[in-house]
Structure 1
């Protein structure tokens, strides 16, 4: 200390890298000194977020890589007849929570990865796909084959978290653009897209649109009466 108890050594500016001597730490240690950051949370109201919609899927971006360094969060509406196809990620982890409706789901390594219908798969321990209802949660670790499909006549709605961000955000943007092009799904284009985003396609992505219910026939007598009015 100098005169008056003042330390004559210059203080390090916030953010400076300071190398401590061994006499102060067990070994030389680099310490980063910085100002305290006041973090702010994110509140997304009902209906909030950016939505991308096609006939095959509707995705709302709730939390993105701009808000979280851990995971992207989406609300996904799965229409009747949509089958995402079995697939796996080498490095991504996903969490699904079914909010509304019903889905066929699976998350296991099958005895044989057949290329047609994952609903025929069975794990070595005897597990098969299940019908998930509202409140069901599915955790998918890296490398685990998984799939979901909507075999019902009503849309299903789920929350999806995908880590790390922002890979799934970019994937959804490109996938929905592809699905919005009209006509039959281009399976080779889907597979090329998924390869770019750490998705190994195991069975095809499908969307079998429900047939429109024809209007009931009007009896001839009723039709004549209506025409006479």
Structure 2
């Protein structure tokens, strides 16, 4: 068993990568997301090449999928089929955690590491570069 790789994005979001595409013969990826209160979370987006299932572990997140808004509490799950626009935020005073399962395993920890480089570059993040990274990994940002 290998330990999780933790990627702290510095914006109130931590990614604990459990299994990467290379670990599962590209069948799936599995990671825990910790979202602190008022964290800067990803822009609304959809996935071109993979589906995602979210499972609430701790705390509560507000999740929007297409035009439906819901709470993701511990024990709740939500399947997000590729092509569906989604976003989330933590509007509580406590950290929230969810497990994310993406299949097939085309999504890797490199996505978060590439974003981290942009976030750590100093000054305001280069939004054009962040969009380019999202598109490179099959995430398509959608204007709110």
TM-score of the two chains, using structure 2 as the length reference: 0.86
Structure number with the bigger relative contact order (C-alpha 8 A, sep ≥ 6) is 2
Q: Structure 1 residue 194 and structure 2 residue 121: aligned?
A: no
Q: How many angstroms does 1:186 deviate by?
A: 2.6
Alignment of 1:146-225 (within 5 A): 146-203=86-143
The 1:156–1:182 alpha-carbon spacing in structure 2 relative to 1, beyond 3 Å, is: farther
Q: Which runs of 5+ in 1 are unaligned?
A: 1-42, 109-121, 123-127, 205-229
Q: How many angstroms does 1:182 deviate by?
A: 4.2
Q: Which residue of 2 aligns with 1:32?
A: none
Q: How many angstroms does 1:179 deviate by?
A: 2.4
Q: Which residue of 1 aligns with 2:56?
A: 98
Q: How many angstroms does 1:178 deviate by?
A: 2.2
Question: How many angstroms apart in 1 are the aligned matches of 2:9 and 2:47?
Answer: 24
Q: How many angstroms does 1:87 deviate by?
A: 0.4
Report if the CA contact (8 A) 2:21-2:108 is conserved.
Answer: no
Report if the CA contact (8 A) 2:20-2:28 is conserved.
Answer: yes
Q: Structure 1 residue 87 and structure 2 residue 42: aligned?
A: no
Q: How many angstroms does 1:188 deviate by?
A: 1.6
Aligned residues: 141
Question: How many angstroms apart in 2 are the aligned matches of 1:54 and 1:150?
Answer: 16
Instruction: Pick one of 17, 24, 30 that aligns with 1:73.
Output: 30
Q: How many angstroms does 1:135 deviate by?
A: 1.4
Query: Which 4+ stretches in 1 moved above 4 angstroms?
Result: none
Instruction: Pick one of 55, 59, 71 that aligns with 2:15.
Output: 59
- Summarize deviations over 1:93-147 as a string: whole Å, max 9, x none: 1111110111110223xxxxxxxxxxxxx3xxxxx31122111111111111111
Report if the CA contact (8 A) 1:72-1:169 is conserved.
Answer: no
Instruction: Pick one of 78, 92, 104 that aligns with 1:138.
Output: 78
Give 1 or 2 for the bigger CA radius of gyration: 1
Aligned alpha-carbon RMSD (Å): 1.9
